[in-house]
Amino acid sequence: MSKINEMSILGVRSFGIEDKDKQVISFFTPVTVLVGPNGAGKTTIIECLKFATSGELPPGSKGGAFVHDPKDAQRTVVRAQIELSLSDIKGEEIEIQRFMSCSLIENKYSFKSEEQNIKRAKDGRRVSRSVKCGDLHQEITCALGVSKSVLNDVIFCHQEESNWPLSEDRVLKEKFDSIFNVTKYNKARAKMYELRLKQSRTVERCQAELSYLEKNKEKAQQLRDNVAQKQADLRASRDLILHIENQIDPLETLLSNIKMKLENVTKLENEIKALDSLRKQMEEHNKELEETMEEVFQGSDEQLQHTYENHQRTVREKEQKLQQHQEELQTFDQEYQRLTRVTNDLLVEKGRLQHEAERHTKNTEDRDKLVHSLSSCLEMEGYDQLPFTVSQLESFYHQVTQRLEQEKERVSQLLVRNLQKLEQQKQQSVDEMRDRKTCTERTVEMKRDEQQKKQQELKNITEELQRLQDSSSRLQELENKLAEREDAVQSSSVEELKAEVKKLQSEKVELDCTQRQLDEDMETLNMHTAALTQMDILKKGKMEEQILQIRSRHCEDLVSLMGHFPNKKELEDWISSKSKEISSTGDRLTKLKMDLASNEQNKSHITAELLKKEQQLATDEEKFLNVCSSRDLEQNLSNLQRDLDEIFKTKALLAGTKVVYTQFISELSEHREPCCPVCRRSFPSESEVQEVVRVLQSKLHLVPEKLKITEQDLERTERRREEIVALRPVRYSAIVQFQENELPALRKRLQTVDREAERLKGDVEEQEALLAILRSEEEKAKDCLQGISLMDSYLVERKIDEQAAKLQEVNLDNTFQQLSQEKQETQDQLDTTYSTIVGKHKQIQDQQEQIQRLKSAAIEMRDEQLQLIRDKQKQENLEELSAEITARMEALTTEIREGNEELRPLSAALEKLQQEKQKLVEQKKQREEEEQKKDYLTTTVSIYLNVDCNHVDLLFFYTICLPMLQDKESEYQAATTQLQEAERNKERISTEMGNIQQDKDTQKVKERCLWDNLTLRKRVNELKNMAAKREALEEKLKRRTVKSAPASATAAVSHLRCKQLEEDQYGKAEELHRNKMIEMRTTQLLSKDLKLYEEALDQAIVKFHSMKMDEINQNIRDLWRSTYRGQDIEYIEIRSEVEERSEGRRSYNYRVVMMKGDADVNMRGRCSAGQKVLASLIIRLALAEAFCLDCGILALDEPTTNLDRENIKSLADALVEIIRTRSQQRHFQLLIITHDEDFVQLLVRSGCIQHFYRISKNQDQNSEITKHSTAFLSV
């Protein structure tokens, strides 16, 4: 059995990204326990196991959330690594390495799965190799002995997906189908079914070829017999030739003449045979044409031609009339649509006006209510009964207007008298005194406010002046920086940036010269020579080490891509060419995909057309077979014709029988001595005569009924014959045309399209593979570009250092401190220059981003510069304003002091006047009453205005809207009438067009009949001409007939037949027939075996599914009864229901049920959260028991979630029992992750756990894994 040994984690989720942060965990047997608080990183361990084995990322981490956050690490790229050591089912150790990275670019995360390695032991040493993700997944699942679905959904099931057994039906079915590998089994059955169909088609093809080969075989045998006979004749002829060989000389001349005549005779015979064949073919065509013709024209050829031309003229007239009717129908249809739009518009307008009418009806009621309310309020009589007439409303408006005028005048007089009295008595003095005091106080207050504002303004001006004095230096600095930014923006292109780099390098050379000069000066100081030399050596060694590291890291990739190690310029050119190649490949791939889509669409169209033709052919054949009992139409017609002749004879016989019997009865009744009407013998007695008459009368009575039956049979038979005759064109035109021409052509087109589709699919796959390779190479080269750029910078720095080592002369007048200071300044400038050079190189790569950044900075600096210029101008203005404010503040102080002295006498006088004002209280009450009257008057006016507005709206409706509504109703009725008339015209035209079309179809049938008559006449004339020509040739042949020995002709025929036998068609006829027969029989046996295999596989799948479900449900019942402590559920199980589909396929639907007594209830949606967790856990344990035969690994993530203490204890007991049962298996591994230390204590008491791991966060908030003894847990 397989097991996991050890795993190391670096850079995943909360685990650190440095090498010192790598965490290693070893997995014990039979159980490994991980304990830690929430958020410590426990679930990350299962996620890492799942990703390492199956390559599946945790839920919701597709965008890079699985890797340590680059923001948290303060890096743009974070790389993660997972190493897993495991033993496969054979016990061999395997080590898996998975690398991934997460990049943060423009606040967007980008996840990338990088190198995947696998290490195995080979020949006593470990061999590592890099593999693709798909190959790695396949290899790991084979090594562990379980499928990918079992790994994801059973063994390493994520906590967020652990309750999948109680998910919705569709998800549950997908999970179980994946676990049972239903898709693979279905594919196998479908492949078998496809092979069986292919073999069946092969058998049909072989049978068709066999019939052809059988004929070839028989033909070959006939040829052999003929050859043998001719060879015997040839031998006899040779004997005859030997006999007459002496007489050949005098007969040579005669023989040459005979040969010439024989050639002429042969030529004439061939012409006669050709004419006979053509005549026979034309007679057959004429016979077929006569059979298909419903009526044979009896007139002359000229009459037939005239009739045909008249008929064509009639058909053209019908077509013209039909075209006219179509144009009329189109005109009526347009008129109908126009009238429909007009009717809809009128209907909408009518609805709007009706709504307006309803609204105005409501306004009328509201107006009457307002009138009634206002009349009651004003105590006006005659307005108690609603509704009101027009005269009542006019009277009401007149009375209310008069009342309003009277009230306004009375209240106005009263208010004027009171206000004049109050102003005359007291208020004038108070107001004047208050105004004087208020004016003085306001003046003083305004001056104080102004004084405070001036003080604050002076303070602000002082602070602003202080700030502006500091900004003068900032302005000069900004001008310099702005010039630099503008120069940088102007030189933002690559060439300008390179020129600037060259300029900076020139400055750097000058600085290097200065640096060399300083170094030469300092070399004279012996105490520093050794230290300086040692520093240069160390610096150079470090740089060489960096260059070698970069070169070794990228050398293999670059050499494999380009064949050599390039410089930066070559690599950039190569990447540019590769990008163009990728673009062109993408364009080709897009074009191929478009062609493939067009091909698929064409295939769908052809398939639909073929299906339609086949359905039409089946319909025609069904119709044909419904009328005709067999496929031989001519035989049916001849049988019906024979039946018709018999029925005609019977009818004529019955008619004659009636006449004869009537005559016989008349003769026997009228004569006194009657005799037999047939034999003329006399009757012995009268009674015999009466008996004969009675018999004849009884038969005569039966004749009408028999005649009626015969006529019915005749009518039925004639009708059947007409139906079959009508089907003759269908049989010979539609069905034959479909079978012989259209269907084979469509099938051939479909085969061509299929071949083209296969070719296009191959091209698409080839281009996709090429595109993937090109993109991989481009990505690999881009990864190397940064290292090459860095190496170039190191090389430049190395050259700088080499140049610095050549410094020689020194100014001995400088002291050591001066030289050090100058050297430091020069070094700072060198660093600045070097940083600028590096920045410029970076600007070449990120040009657009740098341009935008420079422009933004320049704009900000320009804005700040303008602000500083404005501040400088403002500083001068503020200095002048400060002097003005100081003078103004001194004047305000004097004015405030004078104002305070004036306020004292004004305050005493105002206090006296306010005491007198108390006498006006009673007058205030009287004024309030007047105000109330004023409010009453205002309310009355408001109601009156509302009544007046409603009245105006109503007048508008009755004068404008109501007539408009009536007009719209009239227009709507007229439009409806026109619409109905247009619809009747459309129906009339459509009926006439139908009649014309029907008449036209009838005329086409008649036209076909006339055309067939013309064709028949033409062929008959051709036959006559051909017969005359044949007679002439026969007469010519008779004149040239010669007698000669047929030896030479016989020999020629024999030679030709021998040559024919030598051809593959007949020479290998038996061999081909035998091989084809063997192929057909073996293919039949193969098809039969495939059917047996398919049935056996189907039965095996059903049996396997049934056995596994029984095993799973048994394990579920045992685990549930031993774990669950509740009494409401006896046990749970998984129910699988079979759904039969087309072609014998089966589909299984699953559901989890809980047994309560005798009832089974769906558990989904009807159980508690704890029951849900426990059921899901038990189902996973049962699935692991059933499907993990070669893998004893199972991970449980937080199994105690939502469980009470009693069920937690029972779960612990059940797990302990499982551990004790499976502990005999040395590869059994149970991985338990929990935060519940009480649950761990329950497991510890069982004695099966000696150590456990604790997951925690360190001071850097990175996850750490530490191993502890269970004794530590007890403490």
* Residues flagged as binding site: 676, 679
Tell me which residue of 137, 149, 213 sits closest to 179, measured CA to CA: 149
Q: Give the distance from CA 684 to its chain's centroid.
A: 107
Token digits of residue 404: 């309003």
Q: What are phi and psi of 1252, to 5 degrees?
A: -150, 165
Q: Is-contact 29 52, C-beta < 8 A?
A: no
Tell me which residue of 909, 975, 824, 926 sits closest to 348, measured CA to CA: 975
Q: CA angle 644-647-651, nearest 5°?
A: 135
Token digits of residue 1164: 């989904």
Per DSSP, the residues of 1234-1251 read ES-HHHHHHHHHTT--SE
CA dist., res. 810 & res. 812, Å (int): 6
Strands ordered across the beta sheet of 23-26: 23-26, 3-10, 77-87, 93-105, 108-122, 125-130
- Binding-site residue positions for Zn(2+): 676, 679
Please report where in the chains the tokens 């249809």 appear, as a residue. 333
Please report where in the chains the tokens 């300083």 appear, as a residue. 518
Tell me which residue of 842, 832, 840 sits closest to 500, measured CA to CA: 840
Per DSSP, the residues of 255-315 read HHHHHHHHHHHHHHHHHHHHHHHHHHHHHHHHHHHHHH-S----S-HHHHHHHHHHHHHHH
| Burial bucket for residue 626 (CB in 10 Å: 0-12, 13-18, 19+) | exposed
Q: Give the distance from CA 139 to its chain's centroid.
A: 32
CA dist., res. 1242 & res. 290, Å (int): 103
Buried b / exposed e over 979-993, threshold 16 CB at 10 Å, is: beebeebbeebeeeb
Sign of CA dihedral 557, 561, 565, 567: negative
Q: Is 897 helix (H, G, I), strand (E, B) or coil?
A: helix
Sign of CA dihedral 762, 763, 768, 774: positive
Q: Is-contact 423 927, C-beta < 8 A?
A: no
Helix (H) or strand (E) holding 825: helix 816-845
Token digits of residue 331: 């005109």
Tell me which residue of 724, 630, 645 sits closest to 291, measured CA to CA: 724
Tell me the CB-side half-sphere exposure of residue 687, using CA atoms within 13 A: 0
Q: Is-contact 81 97, C-beta < 8 A?
A: yes
Please report where in the chains the tokens 């562990």 appear, as a residue. 144
CA dist., res. 671 & res. 693, Å (int): 13
Q: Which runs of consecutive H residues, i.e. helices, occur in 1124-1204?
A: 1169-1187
